[in-house]
């Protein structure tokens, strides 16, 4: 029902000391015995408790049930979730040490946007969370952590990925030679096996791979096999990788995927990360032509500030609009009054493609006839009046192909870099597991 990031429940325990032997005896007879929480893992300077693990397991099980994914045995699920908690803890500690924070005002705005995306007011959103068995304060802190993790990844991984024009040229050249623009919705099971693995590790990976093949041949769903056996970060999500173009996948992936029918599962194969088994969920034809409607537009922008209030800015731009309606050239008013960088060009923004401007600007622009001047509108930048000068259909295929190529190369390189970064972070960390006793 709701678009929100994955969450887990956090419990806390409390106890009271009574004074007097008779009072204590009565309480002992009547009060239920609560199991004390305990530390099950020490992760550098932080700890993971049993209740954290159990709470996350309950949450993940609920999500898997909603998605129709078979739930693996508790011991396997426990291992997968504990590893995820360890990795999250390491990242949050690193973020705290390096000054990444999300203040309450930013957090509140994010949660308000999530509520709006679900067409709910904040009171209704909170109620929906409670009905879903989720405490609002816990949801709030989970969102804070998710934002921190995203910012950490962006800073330490994504922003360090560089794409050269030569890489894009090579990408497009290869795509043209292969003549295959199809896109593939795929899932994977990964048995991690680094290139410098010992003979013992290789044998363990071979055994686990054979277990996967046997389970799949006996009718286990790919999603459940992923949850049971995969070392990939998305193992509990069925190993889903989503839609990928041929060029967005490593060559060894594409070679096997192209031989599969929809629903088919590949043979195991080795890469630098380990042993992979792929499933083709869907396949669709890509497009080679992109025709868009562009609009040649100009505008005048007034930005409210310490001197000019929002109300005064609105009144001022209404006066500007009235003068334009009575014959004052638009470009003259733009040069004289506009706070935008386009003022020196008479407010001319050139040719605008869909998605180039904020939604309220684009919507207003789309509703105008050629040469028509809009009524004043408000965006997050200030007050605008807009004039459409002309429209045209433009083939943006070349530009679109290069942009898409850049995005796909970046996504692939960022994913590889992130996985390497996570494993380095995990390998360097001090982690002590205390799961000897069953719970």
Give the residue from 72, 102, 288, 79 showing the smallest Cα distance to 180.
288
Indicate the SS3 state at residue 31.
Answer: coil
Residues carrying CATH 3.10.50.40, the chain: 161-288+400-433, 291-395
pLDDT at 51 over 70: yes
pLDDT confidence band for 328 (50 / 70 / 90)? very high
Closest residue by Cα to residue 321 from 364, 385, 391, 265:
385
Average pLDDT over residues 56-66: 84
**What percent of the chain is modeled with pLDDT above 90?**
44
Q: What is the pLDDT of residue 135?
A: 86
409, 401, 365, 413: which is closest to 386 by C-alpha? 365
User: Residues 279, 261: contact at Cβ < 8 Å?
Assistant: no
**Diameter of the chain measured on Cα atoms:** 94
Q: What is the dihedral of CA 209, 214, 215, 221, to 10 degrees?
A: 90
The Cβ-side half-sphere exposure at 165, using a 13 Å CA radius, reads 1
CA R_g for the chain: 28
* Both tokens assigned to 60: 């993940």
The CATH code of domain 291-395 reads: 3.10.50.40
For residues 298 and 389, what is the distance between their CA atoms, to the nearest angstrom? 7
Distance CA 383, CA 101 (A): 32
Highest-scoring range by mean pLDDT, 94-108, 150-164, 270-284, 323-337: 323-337
Does the pLDDT value for residue 299 go beyond 50? yes
pTM of the model: 0.55
Q: Which two tokens stand for residue 256?
A: 């096997």
Q: Are the beta carbons of 147 and 100 closer than 8 angstroms?
A: no
Phi, psi (rounded to 5 degrees) for 384: -120, 150
CATH class of the domain at 161-288+400-433: alpha beta
């Amino acid at each position: 029902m709701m678009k929100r990031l994955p969450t887990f429940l956090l419990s806390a325990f409390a106890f009271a000391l009574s004074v007097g032997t008779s009072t204590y005896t009565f309480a002992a007879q009547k009060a239920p015995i609560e199991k004390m929480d305990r530390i099950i893992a020490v992760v550098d300077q932080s700890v993971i408790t049993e209740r954290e693990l159990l709470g996350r397991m309950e949450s993940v099980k609920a999500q898997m049930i909603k998605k129709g994914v078979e739930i693996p045995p508790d011991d396997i699920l426990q291992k997968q979730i504990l590893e995820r908690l360890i990795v999250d803890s390491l990242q949050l500690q690193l973020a705290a040490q390096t000054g990444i924070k999300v203040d309450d005002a930013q957090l509140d705005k994010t949660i308000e946007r999530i509520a709006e995306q679900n067409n709910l007011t904040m009171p209704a959103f909170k109620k929906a969370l409670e009905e879903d068995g989720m405490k609002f304060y816990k949801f709030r802190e989970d969102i804070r952590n998710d934002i921190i993790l995203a910012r950490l990844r962006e800073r330490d991984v994504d922003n360090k990925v560089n794409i050269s024009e030569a890489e894009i040229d090579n990408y497009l050249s290869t795509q043209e030679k292969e003549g295959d623009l199809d896109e593939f919705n795929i899932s994977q099971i990964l048995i991690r096996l680094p290139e410098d693995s010992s003979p013992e590790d290789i044998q363990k990976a071979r055994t686990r791979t054979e277990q996967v093949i046997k389970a799949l041949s006996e009718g286990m769903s790919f999603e459940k096999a992923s949850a049971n056996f995969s070392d990939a970060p998305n193992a509990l999500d069925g190993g889903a990788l989503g839609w990928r173009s041929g060029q967005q996948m490593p060559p060894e992936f594409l070679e096997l995927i192209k031989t599969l029918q929809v629903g088919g599962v590949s043979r195991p194969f080795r890469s630098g990360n380990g042993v992979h088994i792929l499933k083709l969920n869907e396949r669709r034809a890509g497009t080679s032509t992109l025709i868009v409607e562009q609009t040649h537009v100009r505008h005048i922008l007034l930005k409210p500030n310490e001197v000019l209030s929002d109300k005064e800015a609105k009144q001022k731009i209404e006066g500007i609009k009235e003068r334009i309606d009575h014959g004052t050239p638009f470009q003259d008013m733009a040069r004289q009054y506009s706070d935008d960088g386009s003022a020196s060009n008479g407010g001319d923004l050139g040719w605008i493609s869909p998605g180039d401007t904020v939604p309220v600007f684009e919507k207003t622009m789309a509703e105008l006839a050629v040469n028509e001047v809009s009524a004043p509108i408000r965006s997050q930048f200030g007050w605008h009046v807009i004039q459409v000068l002309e429209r045209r259909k433009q083939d943006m295929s070349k530009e679109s192909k290069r942009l898409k190529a850049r995005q796909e190369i970046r996504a692939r390189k960022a994913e590889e870099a992130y996985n390497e970064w996570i494993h380095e972070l995990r390998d360097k960390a001090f982690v002590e597991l205390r799961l000897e006793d069953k719970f």
